[in-house]
Amino acid sequence: MSLVQAVLPDERRFRSDLESGAYLLGAALRRWRLLRIDWPHVLIAVSATPRPGVPAEFVLRFNLAGYPQAAPTALLWDDTANIELPENRWPAGTRVSCVFRPRTQWPKPCLYLPCDRMSAEGHADWPKQYANEIWRPDCTIAHYLNQVSELLTSSDYTGLRHA
């Protein structure tokens, strides 16, 4: 009798995408790194531009149920405490703060990105408005990670929200 648990199709596809050129390139450039898979949740750390007294990376906790037909959804995560990252430790900047919105501005537990499943709900105009950023079933996790990485390494990123 085998103790190997069957891997669901969405997890199998995700694991396959971890071997894609786009994902491997980002990992090789140290833009992100996989921390843990506890399906359907996945923790991935995304590097940020170095700032004094600020973490070198931010951890995203993804829910990948239904991946890739269903877009990922993610939130900032404190891997040590195993809870959502407190808002005073969120990244800041003009555009950065629009994506990492406090719950008083955006009550959904997710990033405000067109490629995020929860954010896309109720934004019927986003597929046309953000055609290059919206999630499509042919995307890989690197599509989402690239958008976050670009923000955290942009000149707009200023450090922590309440440093």
User: E strands, 39-111, where?
Assistant: 41-47, 57-63, 73-78, 83-84, 91-92
Tally: H helices and E strands in the chain: 6, 7
The catalytic position among 98, 110, 115, 139 is: 115
Residue 110 main-chain phi, psi, to 5 deg: -160, 170
Asked if 115 is an active-site residue, the reply is yes
Q: Using an 8 Å Cβ cutoff, are 135 and 71 in contact?
A: yes
Give CA separation, 72 vs 49, 88, 142, 161, 162, in Å. Answer: 24, 24, 11, 24, 28
Q: Which amino acid is residue 34, in one-letter code?
A: L
Give the bridge partners for 63, in sequence order.
41, 73
* Helices of type H across the chain: 9-17, 21-28, 94-99, 117-120, 126-129, 141-152
Catalytic positions are 115
